[in-house]
Amino acid sequence: RNLWVVPELAEDNRCQTKQCTQPCIPEPFLRSSQDVETKETLQEMKSRFLLFEEADKGCQIRPYHPNTLQECGFNASRPLVMIIHGWSVDGVLEAWIWQLVAALKSGLSQPVNVGLVDWVTLAHQHYVIAVRNTRLVGKEVAALLQWLEESVQFSRSNVHLIGYSLGAHVSGFAGSYIGGTHKIGRITGLDAAGPLFEGAPPSDRLSPDDASFVDAIHTFTQEHMGLSVGIKRPVAHYDFYPNGGSSQPGCHFLELYKHFAKHGLNAITQTIKCAHERSVHLFIDSLLHGSLQSTAYLCSDMGSFSQGLCLSCQKGRCNTLGYHVRQKPQSKSRSLYLVTRAQSPFKVYHYQFKIQFINQMEKPVEPTFTMWLLGAKEEMQKIPITLGGGITSNKTYSFLITLDVDIGELIMIKFKQENSAIWANVWNTVQTIIPWGTEPHYSGLLLKTIKVKAGETQQRMTFCSENTQDLLLHPAQEKIFVRCEVSSKK
The CA-CA-CA angle for residues 429, 435, 438, to 5°, reads 125
Marked catalytic residue, from 47, 88, 165, 171: 165
One-letter amino acid of 340: T
Q: Is 1 annotated as a binding residue?
A: no
The values of phi and psi at residue 73, to 5°, are 80, 30
Asked if residues 313 and 272 have their Cβ atoms less than 8 Å apart, the reply is no
Alpha carbon distance 133, 238 (integer Å)? 27
Of 85, 71, 76, 82, give the one whose Cα is nearest residue 104: 82
Q: Are 117 and 47 in contact (CB under 8 A)?
A: yes
Is 191 among the residues known to form the active site?
yes
Name the strand (E) or helix (H) holding 149: helix 127-152
Which candidate in 276, 281, 286, 335 is catalytic?
A: 276
Is 118 an annotated catalytic residue?
Answer: no
- Which of 85, 118, 191, 294 is catalytic? The answer is 191
Q: Quick one: residue 254, left, alpha or beta (phi over 0 = left, psi -120 to 50 = alpha)?
A: alpha
CA–CA dist 202, 214 (Å, integer): 13
Task: Please name every residue paired with 59 in a beta bridge, in sequence order, or none if there are none.
Answer: 51
**Rounded CA separation 168/164 (Å):** 5
Supply angle C-alpha 301, 307, 312, rounded to 5.
75
Question: How far, in Å, CA of 5 to CA of 25, rounded?
Answer: 9
Is 310 within 8 Å of 298 (Cβ atoms)? yes
Contacts of 92 (CB under 8 A, 6+ apart): 120
* Amino acid identity for residue 471 in this structure: L
CA distances, 402 to each of 338, 382, 397, 399, 450 (Å): 10, 12, 16, 10, 16
User: Could you give the C-alpha distances from 114 to 109, 314, 482, in angstroms and in order?
Assistant: 14, 35, 52
- Whether 157 is catalytic: no
Q: Which amino acid is at 217?
A: I
What ranges in 222-314 are assigned the alpha helix state H?
Answer: 256-263, 267-288, 302-306
Residues 6+ apart with CB under 8 A from 217: 188, 189, 190, 191, 240, 242, 279, 282, 283, 321, 322
Q: 203: which DSSP letter?
A: G
Rounded distance between C-alpha atoms, residue 342 and residue 251, angstroms: 8
* Residue 210 is labelled as binding a ligand: yes
Would you list which residues are annotated within the binding site for Ca(2+)?
Answer: 205, 210
Task: Tell me the catalytic residues.
Answer: 165, 191, 276
Binding residues: 205, 210
